Amino acid sequence: DGGITQSPKYLFRKEGQNVTLSCEQNLNHDAMYWYRQDPGQGLRLIYYSQIVNDFQKGDIAEGYSVSREKKESFPLTVTSAQKNPTAFYLCASWGIGTEDSYEQYFGPGTRLTVT
C-alpha cells in the first residue's frame, strides 16, 4: 500500500537537544511538506519541498531545518533554537488522488515532547 510513514509516533527530548523527525513516502510525489499542529491553531506550515534538493520556508520556519536528498524522504530537524518545540508534527505530500485531481496526503504524525 502506498502512503506516508512517520517515525517515531512519540518522541521525548531534553531541552537544548536537536531532534530529527523522519518522513518517508512511497507515493512517488514530488512535493512534500511539514506542518506543526498546536491545540486551537490548526496546521501551520514549517517547510516544503517541491523537488529533490530544493526546499522553501513556510510560515514558521525559525528553529527548524530540513533536507531533501531523495524523493522519498523529507526529514525535519527541530533545533535547540526553536523556543516552543513541543507539538504534534505532520508530514504530507501532494499528488494526484481520486478523480485525477490533486490532493494532500498526510502521515500519522509524530508527537514531540521537550522537557
Partner 1 sequence: AQSVTQLDSHVSVSEGTPVLLRCNYSSSYSPSLFWYVQHPNKGLQLLLKYTSAATLVKGINGFEAEFKKSETSFHLTKPSAHMSDAAEYFCVVRVISNFGNEKLTFGTGTRLTIIP
Cβ-based nearer residue to partner 1, 13 or 88: 88
Binding mask 51-90 for partner 1 (x = CB under 8 A): -------------------------------------x-x
In whole angstroms, give the CA distance from residue 26 to residue 6: 12
- Exactly one of 64, 107, 112, 114 binds partner 1 (CB under 8 A); that residue is 107
In whole angstroms, give the CA distance from residue 102 to residue 20: 29
For 11, the enclosing helix (H) or strand (E) is strand 10-13
Distance of CA 105 to the CA centre of its chain: 12
Please report, as ranges, the residues that interact with partner 1 according to CB under 8 A.
Answer: 4, 6, 9, 33, 35, 40-45, 88, 90, 92, 97, 99, 101-109, 111
